[in-house]
Amino acid sequence: MKDFNTNSFVRKNILELQPYLSFRDLNEFKDPVLLDANESAFGELNRYPDSTQKNLKRKLSVLKRVPADQIAVGNGSDELIDLIIKIFCEPNEDSILMMNPSFAMYGFYATVNGNKVLLLNLNENFEIDKDEFLKTSNEGQPKVFFLCSPNNPTGNSVEDIEFYIRNFNGIVVVDEAYIEFSDKKSCIDLLKKYPNLIVLQTFSKAWGLAGARVGAAYSSSEIISLISTVKAPYNVNSLSLNKVIEAIDQKEFVEQNIKNTLAEMSWLNEELQCLKSVEKIYPSAANFFLVKFEDVEKVYAKLLENEILTSKRSPKIPGCIRINAGSREENSRLIETLKTIA
């Protein structure tokens, strides 16, 4: 890893790209007259948001103990996934590697960018086979490996993540969208050790701010600077930036949110276990369960009939539905409906 040279993995056109720089955002002024951006002088949201997102990065820097120049902020982590692929993967030439099953958006953005998607099939306990990983990455030479832990839609964490970071000749993106629910440590702690690592986190799950569309990437300052170069200058709006800063300032809220969700997860687990229609509940380190039913079509149809929306993963994951923890009232309605199935 010592010899890792970020730029040797970056597309040429991206290396040569001049970032759009907002003079206003890159300098400090005491009492500026702003006549530089063709904005309106009137209204509540008349100004462009800070393109460098420095206030949020300052907060995140303290919260995550990472220098601010190692943080990028995106319009959800979805945008960051898209940007990472655009930075490293030459269209119609390069490929990405992802676990299967895992979060569909990696494959989606890769396909939009004209990149092949190599699938790393998980075993029956949804674990990675290390030999399979080495074989697929050596043969296919993918540029980016998306490692989701805890994994969506299976719910389990990936063990021995460092093995994959060490043994991948390219960029490893560890997507930690559900890390707050897990008892595992964040891979942010590994950034000093591995220059090919990007950690993604989001405000959409534990923080309860899916509507704000804010995600963050933590990586080397080189990779973060590439993300800043390719992103749309005003990619996160000022309402969302302020909301997220507010949420960080009221950390008890997120802590309570996580506690409540985990309490609902254990309630759901117990209730689901008592149901005849349930064949298996896969262990989860996230805010959802992957549940295997004896008659998945019947269960899914019954839930839908009662306007209870869940995520059917069958036939890709045979017999399985992904169900996230809701409020106690919502979870009770789910269980009551499932009880009516013979």
Ligand X SMILES: *Cc1c(COP(=O)(O)O)cnc(C)c1O
Summarize as ranges the residues that interact with ligand X (CB under 6 A). 76-78, 103, 148, 152, 175, 177, 202, 204-205, 210, 215
DSSP string, 197-260: EEEEEESSSTTS-GGG--EEEE--HHHHHHHHHHS-TT-S-HHHHHHHHHHHHTHHHHHHHHHH
Task: Tell me the residue nearest to ligand X as measured from the CB.
Answer: 76
As measured in angstroms, the least distance from the Cβ of 145 to ligand X is 14
Report the candidate in 98, 103, 136 with the shortest Cα–Cα distance to residue 117: 98
Q: How far is the CB of 196 from ligand X (least distance, A)?
A: 19
Integer Cα distance of 301 and 304 in angstroms? 5
In the β-sheet with 144-148, what is the strand arrangement from edge to edge?
71-74, 215-218, 197-202, 171-175, 144-148, 95-100, 116-121
CB of 214 to ligand X, least distance (A): 7
Q: Which is nearer to ligand X, 10 or 241 (CB)?
A: 241
Residue 229's nearest CA partner among 96, 98, 102, 86 is 86
**C-alpha angle 14/18/21, rounded to 5°?**
130
255 and 206 Cβ atoms separated by less than 8 Å: no
- Residue closer to ligand X by CB (options 208, 271) is 208
For residues 205 and 178, the answer to whether their CB atoms sit within 8 Å is yes
The smaller minimum CB distance to ligand X, of residues 205 and 312, is found at: 205
Pick 291 or 338: Cβ nearer ligand X = 291
Q: Would you say 204 or 235 has its CB closer to ligand X?
A: 204
- Residue 153 CB, shortest distance to ligand X, in Å, is 8
Q: How far is the CB of 2 from ligand X (least distance, A)?
A: 30
Diameter of the chain by CA atoms? 71
Q: Closer CB to ligand X, residue 202 or residue 331?
A: 202
Q: How far is the CB of 316 from ligand X (least distance, A)?
A: 16
Pairing of strands 311-312, 320-324: antiparallel
CB closer to ligand X, 22 vs 310: 310
CB-facing half-sphere around the CA of 173: CA atoms within 13 A: 29
Strand order in the sheet with 311-312: 278-281, 288-293, 320-324, 311-312
Which one-letter amino acid corresponds to residue 61? Answer: S
Least gap, CB of 82 to ligand X (angstroms): 10
Our CB check for ligand X shows the closer of 80 and 299 to be 80
**Separation between Cα atoms, residue 287 and residue 289, nearest integer Å:** 7
Residue 74 C-beta: closest distance to ligand X, Å: 8
